[in-house]
A and B are shown apart, each in its own frame.
Chain A
Amino acid sequence: GAGVSQSPSNKVTEKGKDVELRCDPISGHTALYWYRQRLGQGLEFLIYFQGNSAPDKSGLPSDRFSAERTGESVSTLTIQRTQQEDSAVYLCASSWGQTSYEQYFGPGTRLTVT
C-alpha cells in the first residue's frame, strides 16, 4: 500500500518568504507527526495531531511555525518569514493512533533558505 508522502521533495526559498510543506499520511492512520532534521543532528519533534483532538504544538520552535490537519488526512506545515536557520529536512510520520508505537515516515522535504 501507499506510504507517507510529502511534497515538495525539495524547496529553495529566499529569506523572509513563507513556505508550505505538505504531508499525506497512510490512509487510516489517525496520528500524524512533524519532525525537523537539521544537518548533523537528530530529528526534533515539532507537532502532533491525533484525530480531532487539539494538537500538541510543544515542539514548534517559534510562532513563525504553524501546522494544520484536516480531519485524519492531509497536513500542512507553514513557516512564515523563513530564516536561514530553518534550513533542514522536514519529516512527517503517521501511526495508527495514540497507542501505536510504530511511526511510519515519509521521505521528507529538504528546505533550503538562501
Chain B
Amino acid sequence: AQSVTQLGSHVSVSEGALVLLRCNYSSSVPPYLFWYVQYPNQGLQLLLKYTTGATLVKGINGFEAEFKKSETSFHLTKPSAHMSDAAEYFCAVSYGGATNKLIFGTGTLLAVQP
C-alpha cells in the first residue's frame, strides 16, 4: 500500500535557523505532493503543492519544497524560522483517480526556540 513517511515526529529549531522537514513516499509512480500546516485547534491549511512542472515549488509563509523523483522525496524547507512557524506539518500524497483522496504522513511538530 502507498505510504508517506515523515522522519522526526518532533523538530526543534532556533528562531532564524533553517527549517528542514523530511517527507518520503513509497510508490514508484510519482504522486501529487502536498504540505499542510495545522495550528492548534485549527484545520489544515495548504502550504504548497506539486502536481506537474517545476520540481521546486514555493508556498506561503516563505516555505518551499523540492520534488526529487529519484529519492521519492518532497522535503519542506524555510531559510529562516520564525516563532509563528511553530505548528504541526503534514506531508500528503494523492494519486488522482476517481477519488483523489489524500494519504498523509504522521506529522512533524515544529518547535521554534527564541
Contact = CB atoms under 8 A, between A and B. Distances in A.
Interface in B33-54: 34, 36, 41-46, 49, 51
A36 to B, nearest CB: 11
A41 interface: yes
Interface string B78-103: 00000000000010101010111111
B99 A48 contact: yes
Given A101-B51, A107-B43, A59 B101 contact: yes
Given A42-B4, A43-B104, A101-B51, A56 B46 contact: no
Given A48-B99, A48-B101, A59-B101, A42 B90 contact: yes
Given A42-B90, A102-B49, A108 B43 contact: yes
A91 B43 contact: yes
Interface in A30-60: 31, 33, 35, 40-45, 48, 56, 58-59
Contacts of A95: 100
Given A56-B99, A59-B101, A98-B100, A105 B106 contact: no
A25 interface: no
Q: What class of interface size applies to chain B in its complex with A? A: 20 to 34
A78 interface: no
A13 interface: no
Contact of B98 (A35, A40, A56, A103): A56
Contact of B105 (A42, A59, A101, A108): A42
Interface in B9-45: 9, 32, 34, 36, 41-45
A33 B101 contact: yes
B114 to A, nearest CB: 27
Nearest to B100: A98
B43 A4 contact: yes
Contact of A56 (B4, B101, B104): B101
Residue among A45, A48, A105 with the most chain B CB within 10 A?
A: A105
